[in-house]
Amino acid sequence: MRGLDGEADGSRHDGDSGIDSGDAGGGDRYGTGRRRRGSTAKAASITAAAGLVAVGLSMAACSTGGTGSRDEGAAATKEVAAAAPTPSASPGAGQRSAERVDPIALLKGDPKIGERLKTDLKPCVADAYPVDTSYGNLTNAAAPDVVVNVMTCGDAVGIGTYVYRKQSDRYENVFMAEDAAVYGTIDRGELVVTKQVYAKGDPVAYPSGEDVITYRWSGNAFTQHDWVHNDYSRAVDEGPAVTEPAPSEPPTR
C-alpha cells in the first residue's frame, strides 16, 4: 500500500552431428563404403601448405609499415563513434512540474473548513506543522492537484484529507474527508482514502481494520470507484486482544 532464452540441451552443435566421424585416416566420409585415393589426399595436403604460405606472406605485409589496413579500420571506427549523436532525455507526455503551494495558507483560507480545525492547526515543533502534502494529476487540470493530510502531533493520526484543484489563479477545495484516522494518497491518477476502523477498547496504535476507498474524477466532482475492507490479525504486533468489530458498511456512493 510490486533464463528463458537459453536453448535446450538438444540444440544444434556444429561438428557434432556425426557426419565426419568416419574421416579419420582417410576413411568413409560420405557413407559410400569407399576410401579416398592416395593422390587425392596428397593433392589436398599440397593445397593446404600453399594456403598457409599465402597467409604468412599476408600477415608479414600487414605488420610492416604504419599505414596498414588495420590502421584504416581503427580510424573509421573512431570517426563513426564521433559522428554518432548523443541521446537526450525527454520528459514524459504526462510529466508536469509541481507548483509548490503553502498548505497551511490553503487550509486556513478555505471557507469549507470549520473554524475549530483552523484554530487547532498549530506547529508541533517550532514552525513544523503536522501536515503532509502531495502533488499529482487527479482532475486533469492545467496544474497539478494538491492533496493535504492533517494529522495529530503526538500520534501522527490523520484527522482530515483535502484535495485542491487550481481554477484560474486560485485553488478550490474539491474533496474533503474529516474523520478519525483518515489519510489520502494519489495512486495512478486516482484518489485513495484509507480510514482506520476501531472497535471498542482499541488503542490508537492498534486499529481492528481499515476501509480503503478509491475515487475518480468525473465531470466536476469525485465519485467512488472501489471499496475494500481489511480486518487486521490480533495475533501479530502484540496488540491487545479485543472483540472484533462488526464489518463496516460500504460508504454511500
pLDDT of residue 253: 54
Cell of 161: 484529507
Residue 103: pLDDT band (50, 70, 90) is very high
User: For residue 25, is pLDDT > 90?
Assistant: no
Q: Among residues of the chain, what percentage have pLDDT more than 70?
A: 54
Span 115-140, mean pLDDT? Answer: 94
Sequence-ordered list of residues with C-beta below 8 angstroms from that of 178, at least 6 positions apart, any chain? 114, 117, 159, 160, 161
User: For residue 33, is pLDDT > 80?
Assistant: no
Q: How distant, in Å, are the alpha carbons of 87, 110, 144, 189, 228 from that of 94?
A: 21, 29, 11, 11, 29
Span 127-147, mean pLDDT? Answer: 95
pLDDT of residue 61: 47
User: For residue 159, is pLDDT > 90?
Assistant: yes
242 secondary structure, DSSP code: -
CA pair distance 211, 182, nearest whole angstrom: 9
Q: Is the pTM of this model over 0.75?
A: no
Buried b (16+ CB within 10 A) or exposed e, 54-77: eeeeeeeeeeeeeeeeeeeeeeee
Cα angle: 169, vertex 174, 178; to 5 degrees = 130
Cell of 236: 501479530
- Top mean-pLDDT range of 15-24, 41-50, 89-98: 89-98
